Amino acid sequence: MTRFKAVIFDLDGVITDTAHYHYLAWKRLAESVGVHFDEAFNEHLKGVDRMGSLDLILGEAARNYSAQQKLEMADAKNRHYQDLISTMSEADLLPGAVDALAAVRAAGLRIGLASVSKNAFTVLEHLGIRGRFDYVVDAATITHSKPHPEIFLTAADKLGVDPGECLGVEDAVAGVASIKRAGMYALGVGSPEVLTQADRVIPGLDQFRLEDY
């Protein structure tokens, strides 16, 4: 038995790991404008949307670019990213992901996806799991990025479930903050030393046990 009526998952770093593809695409973009980009810098982009990530990369130099130039830069990064993820398949699902989704469905709960990635639908199709979700938030319709709660509140609303009856699953600090601000129970995937706001933290979905939360 569980006290929840819905589970809302993040995508990147929870169900699949597209972080490396994002890293490669952002690194090429950053270096094209003379900005040093490494794994440590990339950590700051977790859970942040595309334009927000670009502003972080550009830093104070962002003022030197027009809105149109920024859009073109972000689009260039996205095209490279799409080329990289075009080879994804079910083999790219993280351990325990399918079993976790199956367990939630077997318990009779609703399943949502709250990813800031505008490529989420494409990734889900490549992974072969699009049909496992009752509702996938279209990131293009979200005004505020994580840690704002909008994306999780939207998922709950579309699923027809009160936020307080939702379990949110995230791997990023900003994502966990978004879940908590939405009034949901936050399950972190990763390190408890990093995801300090989470109600509980597991290393991966292979450790997901719905009855434990």
Cis geometry, peptide bond prior to residue 147 (ω within 30 degrees of 0): yes
Does 48 count as an annotated binding residue? yes
Question: Of 180, 173, 170, whose CA–CA distance to 205 is shortest?
Answer: 170
Sheet harboring 135-136: ordered strands across? 135-136, 110-113, 6-9, 166-170, 185-189, 200-202
**For residue 1, what pLDDT is reported?**
67
Q: What is the pLDDT along the chain (213 residues), one digit of tens a residue?
A: 689 999 999 999 999 988 788 899 999 999 999 999 998 888 888 778 889 999 999 998 888 899 999 999 999 999 999 999 998 999 999 999 999 999 999 999 999 999 988 889 999 999 999 999 999 999 999 999 899 999 999 999 999 999 999 999 999 999 999 999 999 999 999 999 999 999 999 999 999 999 999
User: Is the CATH number 3.40.50.1000 carried by domain 6-17+93-212?
Assistant: yes
Q: Which helix (H) or strand (E) holds 200?
A: strand 200-202
User: Is the CATH number 1.10.150.240 carried by domain 19-85?
Assistant: yes
Does 130 count as an annotated binding residue? no
Does 53 count as an annotated binding residue? yes
Which residue numbers are catalytic? 10, 12
Q: Distances from the Cα of 139 to the Cαs of 105, 119, 183, 195, in angstroms? A: 24, 9, 20, 23
Question: Of 118, 102, 87, 81, whose CA–CA distance to 15 is shortest?
Answer: 102
Does 60 count as an annotated binding residue? no
Q: What are the domain boundaries of the chain? A: 6-17+93-212, 19-85
Stated pTM of the model: 0.84
Enumerate residues 6+ apart whose C-beta is below 8 A from 132: 101, 105, 111
Phi, psi (rounded to 5 degrees) for 154? -65, -45
